[in-house]
Amino acid sequence: MSVFNAYMALSGAVDADLLRDERLSHRTTYRIGGPAALFATVNSYSSLVRTLSVLRREGVEWVILGRGSNVLVSDEGYDGCVIKLGREFSRITFSEDGCVTAGAGANLSKLVSETLSHGLSGLEFCVGIPGSVGGAVSMDAGTRHEWVGPRVQSLVALRPGGGMCRYAGPDIEWGYRWSSIPADEIILEVTLALTPAAKAGIAEEMERRLARRRATQPMGRPSCGSVFRDPGDASAGRLIESCGLKGYAVGGAQVSDQHANFIVNMGGAKASDVLAVMGHVHDVVAQNHGVDLRPEVKCLGFRG
């Protein structure tokens, strides 16, 4: 594997911004993580294809990173290439039939805001959820009762080495924090079918939902959002809270006093601190309730 050769081959040859040893703590909402050997912000489809080709030739592992809102990065970092979808993948366009097409690199909060400006209802439940559009679609983000997937009319993805492919929304299986989109494909853009509605009503619903998030979630502290998936109809947060684990801490990582399914960075937390808290929470819940909590957060750069 030669990250240096990949860096040299890509420098000046593609429409991309390349960085060596970029600290991923600057690129994640957790504010945790060591450096990526190579960080590439690709600004066009052709530069993405070329970048993947060079990385494959040089044997360099790669991963797509959106806004880093559901990721825990190792303290040692990632020895491959982290790819961020840039300019061409951040566009948002509206059609007259109530649909909006957004690039996978677009900010989800910006998309939600623009649907309000255009008087389109259907994404109110996404207000306050951080992340990129591509990340939200791939994991079918949302609440316990409403998900992005049912709003998807179609999406375009890149199959590395195989070109682009288009999926109709109904042909994709959608589930709680899951979709049937192949894990090795890169979502490029998505078209969502929304419903025209009065802006005042949309704004009121968004404010109601945002107020609830502010009241129940630690939005002022760095975190990755919910750490564990809700097991069935139960609430992971309530199970954790019932075990008296609010406030449990290792190093700078702490189970939030506000929402037990959030592990927050109180300052200077390491990935190892978060993992230690996660492990303790998992074991205590299993012992007290017989429930095997499954992580929702994705881990990057860990060995073994």
Whether 183 and 99 map to the same domain: the answer is yes
Three-class secondary structure of residue 91 per DSSP: coil
Is 303 annotated as catalytic? no
Residue 162 has what pLDDT? 87
Is 177 annotated as catalytic? yes
Residue 304 has what pLDDT? 64
List the catalytic residue out of 177, 213, 221, 229: 177
Is 31 annotated as catalytic? no
Q: Is residue 211 part of a domain?
A: no
The CA-atom distances, in angstroms, between 136 and each of 102, 152, 237 are: 12, 11, 21
Residue 303 has what pLDDT? 82
Whether 166 and 96 map to the same domain: the answer is yes
Q: Is residue 214 part of a domain?
A: no
The CA-atom distances, in angstroms, between 111 and each of 179, 205, 268, 279, 282 are: 21, 16, 32, 35, 35
Entry pTM: 0.94
Residue 9 has what pLDDT? 94
List the catalytic residue out of 47, 69, 226, 256: 226
| CATH number of the domain to which 147 belongs | 3.30.465.10
Whether 191 and 276 map to the same domain: the answer is no
Boundary (domain end) residue, out of 88, 118, 138: 88
The DSSP symbol for 193 reads E
Q: Is residue 206 part of a domain?
A: no
Whether 60 and 7 map to the same domain: the answer is yes
Domain count, the chain: 3
Whether 100 and 68 map to the same domain: the answer is no
What is the extent of the structural domain holding 120?
A: 90-201
| CATH number of the domain to which 259 belongs | 3.90.78.10
Whether 106 and 148 map to the same domain: the answer is yes
Residue 145 has what pLDDT? 83
Which residues in the chain land under pLDDT 50?
A: none
Whether 82 and 101 map to the same domain: the answer is no
